[in-house]
Amino acid sequence: MLSVRDVADTWASIYANSAALRSVVSFAHIGGLVGGGGCAIAADSATLRAFGRAPGVLAREIEHLHGVHRVVLIGLAAVVVSGVLLMFADLDAYLASTAFWIKMALVAALVVNGRILVRSSGGAHEGEPAAQVALRRASVTSLILWFATTFVGAVLPNVL
CA distance to 17, 27, 39, 53, 105, per residue, from 31 (Å): 22, 5, 12, 33, 21
The pLDDT score that the predictor gives to residue 141 is 98
pLDDT digits (tens, 9 = 90+) for 75-118: 999 999 999 999 999 999 999 999 999 999 999 999 999 999 99
Residue 152: pLDDT above 90? yes
pLDDT at 52: 83
pLDDT of residue 54: 84
H helix runs in 2-128, sequence order: 4-16, 19-32, 38-50, 55-89, 91-96, 98-125
Tell me, what's the pLDDT at 31?
97
Predicted model pTM: 0.92
